[in-house]
Structure 1
Amino acid sequence: MKHLRHLIPTTPVVVALLWIAGCAALAQETAKPRNKQPASGPDILESAPTNTSEPRPTAEGKPLPNRDEVMRKQRQYLEQRYDLSGRTHPTIRMSGGRKPIPVGPTARLPQGVTWESLGQMSPEEIRQKKIFPYTPLWHPLQEVGGMVFPPVQTKVVDGLERVDVGFDLPDAYLPEFPPALFVTNRPDLGDVSKGQLITLQNFETLFQDVLTPFQMEGMRLLLQKTTAQRHNLTLDRSTAKPVEGVSCLDCHVNGHTTGQFHLTPDVRPQSERFRLDTTSLRGVFAQTRFGSKRTLRSLEQFVQTEENSAYFDGDISLAERKGARHFTDREQMAMGHMQNIIDFPPAPKLDIQGKLDRTKATESEVRGEAVFNKHCASCHPAPFYTDNLAHDLRVERFYNHVGSTPMGAKGRAEGPIKTFTLRGIKDSPPYLHDGRLLTLEDTVEFFNLVLQSRMSQQEKADLVEFLRVL
């Protein structure tokens, strides 16, 4: 038998012929119809389920929540806390001239309680009676978080809409869209955005004769999309389709804000993280701290911190996995240079020192300035109405805790918050770091309680009138 081996050809040509024949036979076998044959080829990618039809796990390994149920619960929560009827001022509009400012107060008080009686109570009495109207405002997805954009923006900017959560506050309590943009190098031009949403497609046309080449580079970088925790290309995103991410000016639209919110990345556990309302970039040239709860010390440091962790819930490993962009020193300088020329809106009733010009003011505004100087000016001095510090208001004195620790415990310490500039404040509802104050009237009522100022109703009304002229 051993001699028969020599009868089997073993040349390379024959081996190749045998391999080809075997492949052909295998192909014929594979081509036979079978039951439950899985799909193959490019169609399997085109028909793969997106987040809208089959939940994918989030970064925490949980399925995406049901959006309709999430928003139903959030509407119920907000309606219990606020009158959301959307009352607006009959004549005063935001600086772009298109949208009236909202009026309040909107917070609901228990039956039998008035703002006057509440203002006379001690923090301990208010806490014991559980009647503090301005407890922290929670993200609709407190266990997930992430950036949420208002419908007025998601309708015109692709890739921002999330499938697991929607925006919760009515449009009446948000800045106008798109906001006006004012710049320090050309104050004579007024709104240099000309009422348009600034995009990568139109910024060169809008600013060709307004910005220097270096400022133009900064504007381009501020408009360029970068990946974020919930807006990215990975499977655990919260958008129906993979997206490049979000840009700096998706949140700070036209250098201002339209009320986008997310959660602070710097607090753990998850349930204790604060909701954060997007702040305006107007007048950052006059500020030395950036970020409402973070108090970063330069715009360049702000860029570095945001890109490394903030957009990714404070997780640097997620930032790397999802493709966070790390800007060069030149790019950071260009973005900072552009931001530093974003100006406050005009305030015709203020003089060159930023104080009220009494020849142009109403009696109520003059009285309001006196109230402001008594109760507010120590933290918000003219001309920019900020002391560039952070203060702890100890608001937890007024309410029982509603976070991860047992109910009935004294409120979790909210910690220091940056002193916001009040210039152009009528353009920036809602107020405070988490947006819990929907109107300027709510803001005045809040600080009347927290500072225990015991202002009269007339004093509070006059103070609101003064704030509207800043």
Structure 2
Amino acid sequence: VEDHALERADGGFGYIDSYLYLYRLDAEPKRLAAINASEQRVITPKAVDLWEDGPRLGITTAGYGGSRQVLFSWADRAFDKPPQINAWDTPPGAADGAYTEDGAWITASSLLDAWVIHGAGTEVQVVPAGKPSTRTLDSRLGELLFFTEMMAPWGKTDGPLSRFTCETCHHEGYTDGRTHFTGREHGGLKVHASTRPLLGLFNNAPYFSRALDQSMTQMVHSEFKVANRHNGRDPWFELTTLDIKWLHHVVGREPLRLSAEKLRAAFMAFLIDFTHRRNPAADHAAFTAAEKRGAEVFRDRCASCHDARLIAEDPNSAVPFERWEKLVLSPPGPLVWNTAEYAKTGVLPYVHEDGARIPTLRRLYKKWPYFTNGSAKSLAEVVDRFAYDARSSLHDQGAPAMTRLPADDKAALLAFLDLL
């Protein structure tokens, strides 16, 4: 992603184009080139191949979220000059790629569930791989809205303007570790926020750190609005297979018109399906002694905010302590470990007058850095900063008189958190 601070001052997203960086790695690593790949509609490139042809060095790539295959090359390795660019249209979803002996470039498209073959001078071939998807068409269209530029196909790359997808910040639906300036202030301090995962949203309303979107319907409207903030288009738009040239690979050759309402319904269908994979650490049938003790510490010190609920906004979905072990170690690991409430935890500045919406701890190992402002770089730091007394618990700004967790309880709590 563009090596520039994210700009959110006007409610949009600025300076988040996808970039390719070329480095020489030796005793003194050096950046040789920085290429704005989004200018060529190569968005979130994952399939990247570096090649040499005598004095010429080049990069072949295709955007996971874009619609082009591009070859960037430098004659005589003159990296101080712009590269030569050759580009071809291609469907999105390229997760990896490789050259064949006859010079064709084959990519694996996980969005199309297909092999995409780019032969020299020939039309792109899309060859289905594996069994046909059993997901609904709406869910597959929603996946494309999430991972490709289909949600904002008229994006620009001038100055702060950017072509991007949800995955630009939410890598594989989780995070890329970024902490960005929100464009807001609170108490005279600039408010920064860390990226949150977008998996498991269905039972985790309201949404994001300020919890301003109370329902998934409201949140989806907001996402279309912010994605199209800078392109001059009304976010309430429709799309056809003429607008998205590669869409026939998913919906077939018959002309199709997707209304604004249909697009939002599809996005919601995908987000409902888009849930967490099994936690690899939860691979045993019963808690270890350390995990059991950690669960007890969590119950006594953490669960007043991070409640063991199946649905964040429904207090009646809370499960008793006796069921934690079975649910935590089950493949879905479905507990969200939060509520729909705000809390003032001492992590400053607050994003809202009432603090910040209590975050989910589900699949905590995939969320980094920690706290709303991203100030904790490890879970060990999170538990080190925790303090409590008879009246409150704080994650930061704890007074000296407040109690800290003893070392044994910290270790046990970390063992339990690793399972969530």
Question: Aligned pair 1:462/2:412, yes or no?
Answer: yes
Percent identical: 22
Does the CA contact (< 8 Å) of 2:209 and 2:351 recur in 1? Answer: no
Give the distance between the partners of 1:373 and 1:384, measured in 2 at CA.
Answer: 14
Q: Structure 1 residues 388, 447: CA separation in 2 closer, same or farther (over 3 Å shift)? A: same
Give the distance between the partners of 1:141 and 1:290, measured in 2 at CA.
Answer: 21
Structure 1 partner of 2:235? 325
Secondary structure of 2:387 counterpart: helix
Give the distance between the partners of 2:142 and 2:7, measured in 1 at CA.
Answer: 33
Structure 2 partner of 1:340? 272
Structure 1 partner of 2:176? 258
Does the CA contact (< 8 Å) of 1:365 and 1:463 recur in 2? Answer: yes
Structure 2 partner of 1:233? 156
Provide the TM-score with structure 2 as the length reference.
0.52
Secondary structure of 2:264 counterpart: helix
Structure 2 partner of 1:188? none
Q: Structure 1 residues 294, 365: CA separation in 2 closer, same or farther (over 3 Å shift)? A: same
Secondary structure of 2:411 counterpart: helix
**Which of 366, 374, 377 matches 1:435?**
374
Question: Aligned pair 1:372/2:335, yes or no?
Answer: no
- In the TM superposition, what is the alpha-carbon distance from 1:263 to its structure 2 partner? 3.2
**Which of 341, 357, 381 matches 1:390?**
341
Does the CA contact (< 8 Å) of 1:148 and 1:262 recur in 2? Answer: no
Give the distance between the partners of 1:388 and 1:195, measured in 2 at CA.
Answer: 38
**Which of 262, 284, 291 matches 2:208?**
291
Structure 1 partner of 2:356? 417
Over residues 228-276 of structure 1, what are the superposed CA-to-partner deviations in whole Å (9 max), with x where a residue is unaligned?
A: 8xx95264x237xxx5x211232223222222443335x3589744222
Question: Aligned pair 1:204/2:112, yes or no?
Answer: yes
Does the CA contact (< 8 Å) of 1:215 and 1:338 recur in 2? Answer: yes
Give the distance between the partners of 1:279 and 1:463, measured in 2 at CA.
Answer: 22
Structure 1 residue ranges without an equivalent (≥5): 1-51, 53-66, 72-138, 162-193, 313-318, 352-356, 402-410
Does the CA contact (< 8 Å) of 2:337 and 2:361 recur in 1? Answer: yes
**Which of 383, 388, 402 matches 1:444?**
383
Q: Structure 1 residues 448, 157: CA separation in 2 closer, same or farther (over 3 Å shift)? A: farther
Q: 5 Å matches for 1:22-421?
A: 146=13, 158-159=37-38, 196=95, 202-205=110-113, 208-225=132-149, 232-233=155-156, 235=158, 237-238=159-160, 245-264=163-182, 267=184, 272-308=189-225, 310=226, 319=229, 322-323=232-233, 325-326=235-236, 328-347=260-279, 360-382=286-308, 384-395=335-346, 415-421=354-360
Give the distance between the partners of 1:276 and 1:437, measured in 2 at CA.
Answer: 12
Does the CA contact (< 8 Å) of 2:291 and 2:412 recur in 1? Answer: yes
Does the CA contact (< 8 Å) of 1:149 and 1:261 recur in 2? Answer: no
Greater gyration radius? 1
Secondary structure of 1:335 counterpart: helix
Q: Structure 1 residues 224, 360: CA separation in 2 closer, same or farther (over 3 Å shift)? A: same
Size of the alignment, in residue pairs?
A: 270
Give the distance between the partners of 2:296 and 2:38, measured in 1 at CA.
Answer: 47
Does the CA contact (< 8 Å) of 2:343 and 2:358 recur in 1? Answer: no
Q: In the alignment, residue 192 of structure 2 is paired with which amino acid?
A: R
Give the distance between the partners of 1:301 and 1:227, measured in 2 at CA.
Answer: 16
Query: Which has a greater percent of strand?
Result: 2
Secondary structure of 1:274 counterpart: strand
Structure 2 residue ranges without an equivalent (≥5): 23-34, 41-92, 97-106, 115-130, 238-259, 309-333, 389-393, 396-401
Structure 2 partner of 1:101? none
Give the distance between the partners of 2:293 and 2:15, measured in 1 at CA.
Answer: 39
- In the TM superposition, what is the alpha-carbon distance from 1:369 to its structure 2 partner? 0.8
Give the distance between the partners of 2:20 and 2:375, measured in 1 at CA.
Answer: 21
Provide the TM-score with structure 1 as the length reference.
0.47
- In the TM superposition, what is the alpha-carbon distance from 1:370 to its structure 2 partner? 0.7
Does the CA contact (< 8 Å) of 1:255 and 1:281 recur in 2? Answer: yes
Q: In the alignment, residue 373 of structure 1 is paired with which amino acid?
A: R
- In the TM superposition, what is the alpha-carbon distance from 1:344 to its structure 2 partner? 2.0
Higher relative CO (Cα under 8 Å, sequence separation at least 6) belongs to 1
Does the CA contact (< 8 Å) of 1:147 and 1:262 recur in 2? Answer: no
Does the CA contact (< 8 Å) of 1:234 and 1:322 recur in 2? Answer: no
Over residues 118-168 of structure 1, what are the superposed CA-to-partner deviations in whole Å (9 max), with x where a residue is unaligned?
A: xxxxxxxxxxxxxxxxxxxxx68798995676999978993299xxxxxxx
Q: Structure 1 residues 379, 226: CA separation in 2 closer, same or farther (over 3 Å shift)? A: same
Secondary structure of 1:275 counterpart: strand
- In the TM superposition, what is the alpha-carbon distance from 1:335 to its structure 2 partner? 0.5
